[in-house]
Amino acid sequence: HAQGVVEGSKFDFTEVKAGVDADHHVAQGYDADVLLRWGDKIFADAPEFDPANQSEAAQERQFGYNNDFVGFIALDDADDHGLLVVNHEYTNEHLMFPGIIKVTDGDISIAEATEDRVNIEMAAHGGSVVEIRKVDGKWQPVLEGKQNRRITAKTEMEIAGPAAGHARMQTNADPSGTKVLGTINNCAGGVTPWGTYIMAEENFHGYFIGELPADHREAANYERVGVPGGSYDWGKFHDRFDLSKEPNEPNRFGWIVEVDVNDPNSTPKKRTALGRFKHEGAESAVAKDGRVVFYLGDDERFDYVYKFVTTGTYNPDDRAANMDLLDDGILYVARFDEDGSVTWLPLVQGEGPLTAENGFESQADVLIETRRAADLLEATPMDRPEDIQPNADTGRAYVMLTNNTKREEANAANPRVDNAFGHIIEIVEDNEDIAATKGTWEILVQCGDPSIAEVGATFSTETTEDGWFGMPDNCAIDSDGRLWVSTDGNSPSKTGRTDGLWAMDTEGAARGTSRLFYRVPIGAELCGPCPTADMSTFFVAVQHPADGGEDWEEFGRPSYYEDLSTRWPDFDDAMPVRPSVVAITKQGGGKIG
Ligand code: FEO
Ligand code: CA
Ligand code: CA
Ligand code: CA
C-alpha cells in the first residue's frame, strides 16, 4: 500500500501537497505534460503563435482561449489515438493582449476594444477538434488530422428542434429563425454515446449590450437571464450583439450545441429541445431501455437541475440513426424534497401551469423561457448547479453545486446559508434507472475546510488537510465507476490552496474521502477532467492561469501583462501565460489512480 491509502478506498496514489505556487503539480509517479496551449497550431498550415501580433485569421487556425470542457473520442476504439474536443469558454483580455492595461491612481482598467481585438476574441471562443496520438508514451497533436477543426463565435450553425424557426428566433440577418452564427461561453459539455461533441452555452448574457425597444416582449425573459450583461464590446462592431438593433438575438444563445466531429464541414446544431438557460454541461448515458439521458445544470444562484430523456432509443450499430435523437424528448426539472426524494417535473406545453394564459403558446415558448417555466413548476432553487455526471451502471448521478453566498434560507438539498464552499449531491434514480422520473438523493459531501467547525464540511475523517476542497465544478466518472472532481475558486485567501483534481470515494467505508491528485498554477481553475476508457491518460484543462482575483496584491498583479504571478506553462518573458490542456499519465504506463 502506498503512503496514506485509506481503508476501503478505490484509489491508491500518494496525495499531492495542497498549496499555492506558479506551477502545476501531479501526484508522485505521474507525469503531467502540456499538450495544447492557447495559440498552438492545430493545422499544419497554421501560423506560429505571435502574441504581440495576434490576428483573427491566425487565431482561427490555432487553439482557442480558456479551455474548459475536454472530451476524448477514440478513433478505431484505440486508447492511444483519438479526437480531443475542447471548449474555449471565454477570453481574458488583460492576459491576452499586451499594453491594454491602464492604471490611473491605482485603479486598473482595460483599454476600450478595437474591432480587430473583438474579432480575435470571437475567434478565440468556441471549440477545437484536434486529432491526437500517443507516440512513445507521450501524446501529441496530429496537425494533418482530417477532422481537425476550429469552431468560433462566427461559425454558422443550424437551430434545430421545437424552437427552430419560431418568430422569437428570427432576426434581420436570419428571417428564417434557423441559422445563427457561432456559439459562445461554452463551459462544460459532453460526448454522446454516438460520438458527437456537445458544447453547452453558459453565460451568454455577458456578450450583449444596448437596450431593447420599449415594451418589447422579451423584456422579462431577458431580465430573468441577465441580458444585457455588457461584459464584452462585441456589440459595438457586430449589430447582432446590440439589443437595440437585433432584439431577438439573445434567444439564439443559451442552448446545447451538437457537433458531428466526423465531418469537419458539418453544420453544428443548436438542440433547442434541451432548453435555454446557462447550460454548464450535458453529460449523458444510455438508460436500460435504450433511451439516452442528459443531465443539465443551470449555473446561477437559485437556478435548477434538469435532465433530458430522448424519445427515441440509441442504436449502437447505426451511428446515422442517432444523429437527430436530441430533437425529440422530454426536458425535466428537479424538485428535491425534504424527505430525501427527488421528482423530475416535465416541462411540456399545455401541462400544469405551462399554458397559453401564462405566455406559453407552444413548446418553443417553454424552451425559450425554460427558467420561467421551471419557476412555475416550483422546482428547487439550488446553489449554482454545475457539471452533473450520470453513472448508468448504478443509476446514480453526481451533482456539483459550486457555491451560493447569497443563500439566506436553507433547504434540505441546499443545507447551508451563505454557502461559500459548495456541496455534492448524489441522486439515486428509482430502480437504478437513469430515465426514471423519481428517485432519492443524499448529500455526498459538504465542501470546505473540515478543521473549521463553522464551515460545516462533511468530508470523511480520513480526508487529509490536503484532501479537502471547496467549490466543486466539473467531474468525471472513470470506467471503474470512480468519481473525480475538479474545482473553481480555491485560492490563497479562500482556502489556502489552488484549484485541482480530487479523487472522491463514493462507496463503502471510504465514502466521502477526498484526495488531491493534481493542482494548478496560481489564478487558474481546473476544468474538463477526462479519463480515457482504459484510465491510462487523464486529460485536464487549466483555465485562466494568473487570473489572480482578489489575491493579486499578495501574489502579483493579475492584470499586468508584464508583471504576472505566473508565466505558466512556458515561463518565457516573451510569452503570455497560456491556458492549456494537460495530459496526465503514469510513469512507466498503467492505470491512473
Ligand atoms: Fe463556466 Fe459554471 O462554470
Ligand atoms: Ca464550469
Ligand atoms: Ca464532466
Ligand atoms: Ca464555475
ipTM: 0.94
What is the structure's pLDDT at 65?
Answer: 98
Cβ–ligand 1 distance for 383 under 6 Å, the answer no
pLDDT tier for residue 257 given thresholds of 50, 70 and 90: very high
Q: Considering every ligand atom, which ligand is closest to the CA of 475?
A: 3
CA of 354 to the centre of ligand 3 (A): 31
Cell 502540456 sits on residue? 34
What is the structure's pLDDT at 2?
Answer: 45
pLDDT digits (tens, 9 = 90+) for 463-509: 999 999 999 999 999 999 999 999 999 998 899 999 999 999 999 99
Q: Considering every ligand atom, which ligand is closest to the CA of 279?
A: 1
Cell numbers of 338, please?
425534504
CA of 50 to the centre of ligand 3 (A): 32
Check whether 194 has a pLDDT greater than 70: yes
Interior CA angle at 269 toward 265 and 274, to 5°? Answer: 155
CA of 560 to the centre of ligand 2 (A): 25
Helices (H) and strands (E) in the chain, counts: 8, 33
**DSSP per residue over 562-583, as a string?**
TS-S--TTT--TTS----EEEE
Q: Considering every ligand atom, which ligand is closest to the CA of 89?
A: 1
Closest CA to 561 of 575, 551, 571: 575
Cβ–ligand 1 distance for 400 under 6 Å, the answer no
CA of 474 to the centre of ligand 3 (A): 5
Please, are residues 354 and 373 in contact by the beta-carbon 8 Å criterion?
Answer: yes
Mean pLDDT of 248-254: 98
Distance, in Å, from the CA atom of 371 to the CA atom of 357, rounded to the nearest integer, reads: 17
477 compared with 4, residue with greater pLDDT: 477
What is the structure's pLDDT at 204?
Answer: 98
- Of all atoms in ligand 1, which is nearest to the CA of residue 202? 1
| Share of residues in the chain with pLDDT > 90 (%) | 89
**H helix or E strand, kind and range, residue 592:** none
**DSSP per residue over 391-441, as a string?**
ETTTTEEEEEE--BTT--S-BTTB--SSBSS-EEEEEEEGGG-TT-SEEEE
Cβ–ligand 1 distance for 303 under 6 Å, the answer no
| Share of residues in the chain with pLDDT > 70 (%) | 96
pLDDT digits (tens, 9 = 90+) for 360-379: 999 999 999 999 999 999 99
Query: Is 25-155+183-202+254-292+303-586 a CATH 3.40.50.720 domain?
Result: no
Check whether 560 has a pLDDT greater than 80: no
pLDDT tier for residue 563 given thresholds of 50, 70 and 90: low
pLDDT tier for residue 7 given thresholds of 50, 70 and 90: confident
Cell 477538434 sits on residue? 129
> Worst-scoring range by mean pLDDT, 105-119, 123-137, 172-186, 236-250?
105-119
pLDDT tier for residue 292 given thresholds of 50, 70 and 90: very high
Mean pLDDT of 321-341: 98
Check whether 143 has a pLDDT greater than 90: yes
- Of all atoms in ligand 1, which is nearest to the CA of residue 280? 2
pLDDT tier for residue 4 given thresholds of 50, 70 and 90: low
Q: What is the pTM of this model?
A: 0.97
Cβ–ligand 1 distance for 499 under 6 Å, the answer no
pLDDT tier for residue 554 given thresholds of 50, 70 and 90: very low
Cβ–ligand 1 distance for 527 under 6 Å, the answer no
pLDDT tier for residue 77 given thresholds of 50, 70 and 90: confident
- Of all atoms in ligand 1, which is nearest to the CA of residue 185? 1
Residue 411 φ then ψ, to 5°:
-135, 175
What is the structure's pLDDT at 440?
Answer: 98
Distance, in Å, from the CA atom of 167 to the CA atom of 175, rounded to the nearest integer, reads: 9
Cβ–ligand 1 distance for 386 under 6 Å, the answer yes
What is the structure's pLDDT at 548?
Answer: 63
Distance, in Å, from the CA atom of 386 to the CA atom of 420, rounded to the nearest integer, reads: 15
CA of 342 to the centre of ligand 3 (A): 22
CA of 386 to the centre of ligand 4 (A): 7
Check whether 562 has a pLDDT greater than 90: no
| Average per-residue pLDDT for the chain | 95
pLDDT tier for residue 573 given thresholds of 50, 70 and 90: confident
Distance, in Å, from the CA atom of 153 to the CA atom of 124, rounded to the nearest integer, reads: 8
CA of 396 to the centre of ligand 4 (A): 22
Cβ–ligand 1 distance for 249 under 6 Å, the answer no
Cell numbers of 304, please?
435548477
pLDDT tier for residue 564 given thresholds of 50, 70 and 90: low
Atom 1 of ligand 1: nearest residue by CA position: 187
Cβ–ligand 1 distance for 296 under 6 Å, the answer no
DSSP type of residue 502 = E
